[in-house]
Structure 1
């Protein structure tokens, strides 16, 4: 069996991908990790795509994995494609789901408004409690703050511009939920049109949060692509 690395999204953790991991456990050697500062991992500095990519590289080296297939949800998909740009010899194939590619100062400012911990604690206390549990012993509010800083950095200087995708020639499947209100089809297709060896799959009745995705449908898409 081949290795399949599952990468979680921003303000998330590997536990969110556990239902998917269980569904795929008979078909792959599954690898998972929590990015620094997420899921209780130590806060080692700022959040940034290149820092998370280097963390993945250390994981692959420590596990003696020469090349790996990657399923990346949201930010995890962005990290996967950044790895393919920087270390193409270490990545075999990539499946992204709900990955946002278009970042400008205005877009970053809009997205960070949804990361206000005071508003979340007041308006969505159940979500605040889930974040607190997910990232303990780290302060979940600090996780949100560092994520907001990362997003603003993406808005100022996107580490993956459209021309970069033209140089990523490994097989890529771009997944998008038809009900995703964070990621547009236009920005996804703009990346699709630059990637030399890619296709798009649109998942029906699928919003952005990974918890709301149909695990069986996603399992089928993953098996079809990687197998």
Structure 2
């Protein structure tokens, strides 16, 4: 039986964005693609978006599908959810791998990120992006997803769910990855999280920006393959 791999997408994203990566890893893993509540056409939760709500939905999926020997790969916000879950349930996950995850949140950071989630500005300046969001989340209203995400980020800015002291409590082996051209996530916050984890490795992906659509799926799959992770660990 193959080990399980659960792929978690980023904020305002959907699991279908990770399908190219999933295709590269089916020979190694029993691959699962998962959409957070309200994303990718899935029903909204009765509660507003939050890391806790997304983690609870992920936990329910893991238990319902009885995922064994589990690796979770989380892109951007998905990596944050994976680490949050690993802290809460240390025996549930065999390893966590993240890419482009933003660890540092305060009010200034949240305000800056929320400004990029204004639906009217997106429609005016990048209509193609608005159309893509509409297709990605249909039949759900993409504007509602932006509004709820903005609220979540503001809450994170006021009270970061994963504080620096929490990282030392995460016993799960972690591989933290960052693209060398990522303009959203800093090296400083990535290295700080890496140093705070008891069992962590760090990888910098060459020629890699933040948007998942611009990440080389073949390069990324190299770091996710079980044999590579076991060697680096």
Give the TM bin, normalised by the shorter chain.
over 0.9
Shift of 1:91: 0.8
Shift of 1:61: 1.3
- Give the corresponding residue for 2:210: 208
Q: Is 1:97 aligned with 2:95? A: no
Classify the secondary structure of the residue corresponding to 1:32: strand
Q: Conserved in 2, the CA contact under 8 Å of 1:24 and 1:219? A: yes
Q: Tell me: CA distance 1:59–1:28, structure 2 relative to 1, closer, same or farther (3 Å).
A: same
Q: Is 1:20 aligned with 2:24? A: no
- Can you list the C-alpha shifts for 1:117-149, whole angstroms capped at 9, x where unaligned? 101011101110000011111110010000000
- Give the corresponding residue for 2:30: 29
- Give the corresponding residue for 1:76: 78
Instruction: State the alpha-carbon separation in 1 of the partners of residues 66 and 171 from structure 2.
Output: 24
Q: Conserved in 2, the CA contact under 8 Å of 1:93 and 1:226? A: no
* Unmatched 5+ stretches in structure 1: none
- Can you list the C-alpha shifts for 1:87-120, whole angstroms capped at 9, x where unaligned? 1110110100000000000100000100111010
Q: Is 1:156 aligned with 2:148? A: no
- Give the corresponding residue for 1:171: 173
Shift of 1:29: 0.3
Q: Output the TM-score relative to the length of structure 1.
A: 0.98
Q: Conserved in 2, the CA contact under 8 Å of 1:12 and 1:39? A: yes
- Can you list the C-alpha shifts for 1:35-84, whole angstroms capped at 9, x where unaligned? 00000011223100011111011111111225521000000000000001
* Unmatched 5+ stretches in structure 2: none
Alignment of 1:52-131 (within 5 A): 52-131=54-133
- Give the corresponding residue for 2:40: 39
Shift of 1:225: 1.4
- Give the corresponding residue for 2:229: 225
- Give the corresponding residue for 2:8: 7
Q: Output the TM-score relative to the length of structure 2.
A: 0.95
**Number of equivalent positions:** 227
